[in-house]
Amino acid sequence: MAKEADPVLKLMKDNDCDELDIKFTDVPGTWQHLTLPIGEVDDALFTRGTGFDGSSIRGFQAIHESDMLLIPDPATVVVDPFMNRTASIVATVRDPMTGSAYPRDPRYVAQKAEQHLKDSGIGDVSYWGPELEFFVFDSVRFGQTANTGFYEVDSEEGIWRSGESFTLDEEGPNLGMKPRHKEGYFPVPPVDTFTDFRNECVREMARYGIIVEKHHHEVATAGQGEIDMRFDGLLKMADNVMAYKYVLKNVARRYGKVATFMPKPLFGDNGTGMHVHQSVWKDGVPLFAGDGYAGFSELGLHYVGGLLAHAPALMAFVAPTSNSYKRLVPGFEAPTILALSARNRSAAARIPMYFPDPKAKRVEFRPPDPTANPYLAFAAMLMAGLDGIANKTDP
């Protein structure tokens, strides 16, 4: 029988990695990490784990109960593209006092949600396709002191730089060709100055096993973009979202820029969303396809009913910051109506009508943004939808 450490050690040795970087997610949805030398990577690491101070992690333990364990998942190991000779692996959290999974570990919450779907008998797998948008800025300044309060972002691509004589680095003339507010969707270069940046992000995402379907400039000026991942199961997609953010921020750093997933960094232009496409299947059959409204089944409509009925509570998970609500206003393609619609992007729940294929039938829940913790957000939406099915909630 193969030992749990074997595939991890093989990858590390095959790729000349001396270190194993262990990543886990805190409650707000940020990756944290610690690093072990290869000599500390053995079977005990994957059964017993390695310790850390849970009181120093947001949302975890108090100081009098701080000892916690990380248990790496061998299925998640990859070569980290941003650290020298280092492999990266994702871990779940365990309570050493009980020996059980830690109930506040977001990854464990996602695992429980997947198991609940199977136990319910409604379906055996849910598929998730989040559309993460982002901005890439050349500089970011902010401060909140006793005598000042300000922020400033800047971008060579920003329309507000049209009147400048020189580029931001003052190494050349201003050549214009900047997307105007709300006119940045799909222009070719030289207006879209971030094609190569996004291409590089796609290449790095491939290291994590992430399949990208397409990428493009988004509606806003100043480097707004979107890279669309192929749908996957709940836990795997939540892992992918964390890797996506990690890749974007580190590739931006390579370029001397900063990537942000802030929902509304610019006044008067489109914000950054994370529309989440979702569906439930059983025995290889898509359960949302039918002959009801917009080609949906009764079960699928009840799932949407659950999303809408629980939307006020879901917002704590899918749009968790005060800035999230600056995005959710009319006029910027953000959802502002608590309703179901085919095609209408102002509705909170939308049924895409691109293809009639039953396998493509899904609901797009539009309020989420990328500040959400994907493990908690996906789990919350799944539970809301299943509750709608159980109670036959009419959307």
Query: Domains in the chain and their CATH numbers?
Result: 5-102 (3.10.20.70), 125-390 (3.30.590.10)
pLDDT value of position 162: 87
| pLDDT tens figures, 215-272 | 999 999 999 999 999 999 999 999 999 999 999 999 999 999 999 999 999 999 999 9
What residues act catalytically? 53, 131, 133, 218, 226, 275, 345, 364, 366
| pLDDT tens figures, 317-372 | 999 999 999 999 999 999 999 999 997 889 999 999 888 888 999 999 999 999 99
pLDDT value of position 242: 99
d(C-alpha 15, C-alpha 37), whole Å: 14
Contacts of residue 345, defined as CB under 8 A and 6 or more positions apart, other chains included, come to 333, 335, 366
| pLDDT tens figures, 50-98 | 999 999 999 998 899 899 999 999 999 999 999 999 999 999 999 999 9
pLDDT value of position 163: 86
pTM: predicted TM-score of the whole model, two decimal places: 0.95
| pLDDT tens figures, 168-199 | 877 788 888 899 999 899 999 999 999 999 99
C-alpha pair distances (Å), 87 with each of 36, 38, 79: 10, 10, 4
pLDDT value of position 300: 97
Mean pLDDT of 301-309: 98
What amino acid occupies position 2?
Answer: A
- β partners of residue 296: 289
Q: For the chain, what percent of residues have pLDDT higher than 70? A: 99
| pLDDT tens figures, 2-45 | 588 999 999 999 999 999 999 999 999 999 999 999 999 999 99
Tell whether the model's pLDDT for residue 1 goes beyond 60.
no
C-alpha pair distances (Å), 188 with each of 131, 212, 216, 223: 21, 20, 9, 13
Both structure tokens of 213: 């379907």
Question: Which residue's entry shows tokens 């190494």?
Answer: 171
